[in-house]
Amino acid sequence: MQLNIPDSLQKRVLIAGGGFAGLKLATKLANSNFQVVLIDKNNFHQFQPLFYQVATAGLEPSAISFPLRKIFQNSKNVFIRVAEITGMNSTNKEVITTLGTINYDILILALGVDTNFFGMKHIARYAIPMKSVAEALSLRNKILQNFEDALVEPDAEKIKALLNIVVVGGGPTGVEVSGTLAEMKKFILPKDYPEIDFSQMKIYMVEAGSRILAGMTEKSASHAEGYLQKLGVNVLCDAHVSDYDGEMVSIKNNIKIPAKTLVWAAGVSGNQTQGLNPELYTGSNRIRVNSFNQVEGFDDIYAIGDNAYMAEGKYANGHPQMAQPAIQQAKLLALNLKRQVKNESMKPYHYFNKGSMATIGRNLAVVELPFMRFYGFLAWLTWMFVHLMAIVGVKNRLLVFINWFWNYVTYDQSLRLILKPSARKDV
């Protein structure tokens, strides 16, 4: 048995990746006439849209993470293995993992994306991305430790660098983390660190494009920028970060910002699978697929979610790398796989844009739906409801709601903990 998975007369659907796309597909195929093998490097699903709240001490990691095995406790045809995909052989129809090799009848690549540092090695070394719960915790530790260090630092210039935070990227993640940090500066940090003069603390959001929230309308972007400026965030557009040495952020046009914390939310790149023809990848490492999400040249290998590049209508550069396209593709693919078994024709995928949204802070958000746009308090409530309902697990939803309610009522977060692995001592 490969990876200790029993042989079966059922077709084996091997899903590589337990993100939004992979998890949705697995749940749709659970208790079906397929043998489903879900492989992920973690034994849990991570709710990526709320990583920034873990990073800013608003939520605990367990509130946005859910054990994969718990989801499939009653699904006898689903097998989960915690491993990393190291390669594949399409001729032999096998995938190579850190646990061994496993064959497939149908392979689904849903490996998502990783941070794109655009070849800037110093930034890759010193900046902190937010593509996992672990990275969000690392950012939280970094920010809080800097405040602790600022308490005992005698050099005024070094204190500024310890307090300053630069967020690179003006998309929803950059906007949300900048707004939350600004609210922490206003309501929370002066109470925790009364010895520090937080008027010295500067929060910068740096965007290479001409405006923030490029995926939304100019009106929504303008509202969001106004909200950020109202909170005290310095928004720099048409600004390209060129280097960072851990102490000083260099921006083209000779702008220098002293900062010990650089949050990188500026771009993503698809996770490649060794063994797949490199020509199938785009410049951003997305896999070229047809309208059925089949990888070009294959009828038994599919790519869905952020991994997939499908040009369609006004999405000539591929669909947005967000949760909704991933979930929609997974739902349709599950239906198509079942139709294949019945010798029925598959249905092509067409993206239905349900809208975009971003929250900036307390009572401040922007929402764009297909039929209307709105801003402020109602948008903020809408953002909260949509994200709360999207979280996996009733208990997790309850934990998030309690934390949000407590933070709203008390103007405080209760999770400002610096959690570090303890150093092992030689005996």
Same domain, 163 and 238: yes
Of 85, 114, 89, which is closest to residue 104 (Cα–Cα)?
Answer: 89
Reading the chain (427 residues) residue by residue, the pLDDT tens digits are 688 898 889 999 999 999 999 999 999 999 999 999 999 999 999 999 999 999 998 888 889 999 999 999 999 999 999 999 999 999 999 999 999 999 999 999 999 999 999 889 999 999 999 999 999 999 999 999 999 999 999 999 999 999 999 999 999 999 999 999 999 999 999 999 999 999 999 999 999 999 999 989 999 999 999 999 999 999 999 999 999 999 999 998 889 999 999 999 998 888 888 999 999 999 889 999 999 999 999 999 999 999 999 998 888 889 999 999 999 999 999 999 999 999 999 999 999 999 999 999 999 999 999 999 999 999 999 999 999 999 988 888 998 998 899 888 888 876 788 877 665 666 6
Where a domain ends, among 222, 239, 263? 263
Same domain, 213 and 284: no
Write the CATH number for 33: 3.50.50.60
Q: How far apart are CA 141 and CA 243, in angstroms?
A: 23
Check residue 427 and give its pLDDT. Answer: 60
Q: Is residue 316 part of a domain?
A: yes
Count of structural domains within the chain = 2
Distances (CA, A) of 395 to 209, 334, 389, 404: 40, 27, 12, 14
Check residue 252 and give its pLDDT. Answer: 87
Where a domain ends, among 212, 232, 263? 263
Where a domain ends, among 263, 287, 312? 263
Q: Is residue 200 part of a domain?
A: yes
Check residue 194 and give its pLDDT. Answer: 93
Check residue 422 and give its pLDDT. Answer: 63
Check residue 400 and give its pLDDT. Answer: 92
Same domain, 102 and 167: no
pTM: 0.93
Q: Is residue 47 part of a domain?
A: yes
Residue 212 three-state SS: coil
Alpha helices, DSSP H, located in 301-421: 323-341, 377-390, 394-410
Instruction: Give the type of residue at 16.
Output: A
Q: Is residue 380 part of a domain?
A: no
Check residue 426 and give its pLDDT. Answer: 62
Distances (CA, A) of 158 to 148, 151, 153, 254: 13, 11, 7, 20
Same domain, 229 and 148: yes
Same domain, 132 and 31: no
Q: Is residue 404 part of a domain?
A: no
Distances (CA, A) of 356 to 19, 48, 53, 205, 237: 20, 15, 19, 20, 21
Same domain, 191 and 240: yes
Determine the structural domain holding residue 76 and report its residue range: 11-115+268-341
First to last CA, the chain: 42
Same domain, 199 and 286: no
Check residue 316 and give its pLDDT. Answer: 87
Same domain, 177 and 306: no
Same domain, 291 and 245: no
Q: Is residue 219 part of a domain?
A: yes
Give the containing element (helix H, strand E) for 228: helix 218-231
Same domain, 135 and 155: yes
Same domain, 24 and 104: yes
Residues in Cβ contact with 90 at an 8 Å cutoff, skipping those fewer than 6 apart: 275, 276, 298, 301
In DSSP terms, which residues pair with 285 in a beta bridge? none
In DSSP terms, which residues pair with 366 in a beta bridge? 358, 375
Instruction: Give the type of residue at 302.
Output: Y
Same domain, 150 and 277: no
> How many Cβ atoms are within 10 Å of 426's Cβ, its own excluded?
3
Check residue 412 and give its pLDDT. Answer: 80
Check residue 301 and give its pLDDT. Answer: 97
Q: Is residue 351 part of a domain?
A: no
Q: Is residue 355 part of a domain?
A: no
Q: Residue 193, class by beta-carbon neighbours within 10 Å (0-12 exposed, 13-18 middle, 19+ buried)?
A: middle
Q: How far apart are CA 321 and CA 326, in angstroms?
A: 8
Check residue 169 and give its pLDDT. Answer: 94
Residues in Cβ contact with 210 at an 8 Å cutoff, skipping those fewer than 6 apart: 237, 238
Check residue 279 and give its pLDDT. Answer: 94
Check residue 395 and give its pLDDT. Answer: 85
- Strands 94-97 and 85-89 come out as antiparallel
- Scored b (16 or more CB within 10 A) or e, 293-327 reads bbbeebeebbbbbbbbbbeeeeeeebbebbbbbbb
Q: How far apart are CA 195 and CA 208, in angstroms?
A: 36
